[in-house]
Amino acid sequence: MPKNGDRFSEKIRLMVRNIIVSPRQILDDIALCLVFFTRLPLPVFDFRGRSLAAAIWAAPIAGLVVGLIGAIVFATAERFGLAMGPAAALALVATVVTTGCLHEDGLSDVADGFGGGKSRGRKLEIMRDSRIGAYGAMALALSLLIRWSALSQLVDPTQALFALVAAHAASRGLLGAFMHLLPPARDDGLSAGAGTVSLEIAIVGAVLGAIPLLLLGIGGAIAALILLGLLFAAFHALCLNQIGGQTGDTIGALQQVSEIAVLLVASVALS
């Protein structure tokens, strides 16, 4: 009888073999993540019933694209003589516009729900409300301020490139694992509709997200991994305690706090 480790290894081999013989599937998954996680004017794709849960391994690639766009804007601003502060602000604007404030919206909803709701049901109700409250406004302001402050510490466009690519890829690499480990908190939400993320997909996404952290140097990569692990565990426990699972909003909030963490590490490791 095969051991659990053997069965898992066989699953990994089958998945890798499927990817190798199906390059179209790779492109479909990347395209699906770009369509979902960005507002880039992409052509209409036929995903042939491919679910977000199956494609979530490619989320770090979508993050890499977002980071590259921010880095290009940063370099262009610096080229025209702007100081690091304004260049960082424009780079941040570029990334937010590229994603359509997708994750920022989740962060503000989670802050409002967790901060203002007394019961699980009330928290979920507040999170579904499109209006922003005091907790959400403060969370958004702090997120933008901290990210801008971290980017402002970088002294040249190359450092900005490394920081933005690492932050946007790594923060999205955690999303599949989060969806795998936590059940949907509601039956009719975006997360529930995305499907179930398998362990193999979660691992591939996490590894792809972790690789760009090497741009921060070995020490920076290790520090970022430790910090991301601690934040992931803490947020996992918080969501279980507050609403008994995860929603699309909590996934967005996880991306935001993870991006902030990597940018803070980058501001120290690269400057």
Write out pLDDT tens, residues 27-77: 889 999 999 999 998 876 666 667 888 899 999 999 999 999 999 999 999
Write out pLDDT tens, residues 115-174: 988 899 999 999 998 889 999 999 999 999 999 999 999 989 999 999 999 999 999 999
Residues 33, 157, 214, 105: is their CA dihedral positive or negative? negative
Average confidence score pLDDT of the chain: 90
- Contact call for residues 167 and 259 (beta carbons, < 8 A): yes
Q: Indicate the range of 9-23, 25-39, 42-56, 90-104 predicted with least confidence.
A: 9-23
Listed by start position, the domains of the chain span 4-269
pLDDT band at 26, cuts 50/70/90? Answer: confident
Average pLDDT value for residue range 81-86: 94
Query: Which class for 82: exposed (0-12), middle (13-18), buried (19 or more C-beta within 10 A)?
Result: middle
Query: Which class for 256: exposed (0-12), middle (13-18), buried (19 or more C-beta within 10 A)?
Result: buried
Torsion angle in degrees (nearest 10) through CA of 77, 218, 148, 81: -20
Residue 18 pLDDT = 55
pLDDT over threshold 60, residue 254:
yes
- Contact call for residues 172 and 55 (beta carbons, < 8 A): no
pLDDT over threshold 90, residue 103:
yes
**181-215 as b/e: b if 16+ CB within 10 A:** bbebbbeebbbbebbebbebbbbbbbebbbebbeb
Instruction: Give the bridge partners for 246, in sequence order.
Output: 184
Q: Indicate the range of 50-54, 73-77, 85-89, 212-216 predicted with least confidence.
A: 50-54
pLDDT over threshold 70, residue 4:
no
Residue 19 pLDDT = 54
- For residue 17, give both structure tokens: 């073999």
pLDDT over threshold 70, residue 218:
yes
pLDDT band at 93, cuts 50/70/90? Answer: very high
- Contact call for residues 65 and 214 (beta carbons, < 8 A): no
Least Cα distance to 208 among 173, 260, 244 occurs for 173
- Contact call for residues 45 and 31 (beta carbons, < 8 A): yes
Alpha-carbon distance 122 to 132, whole Å? 15
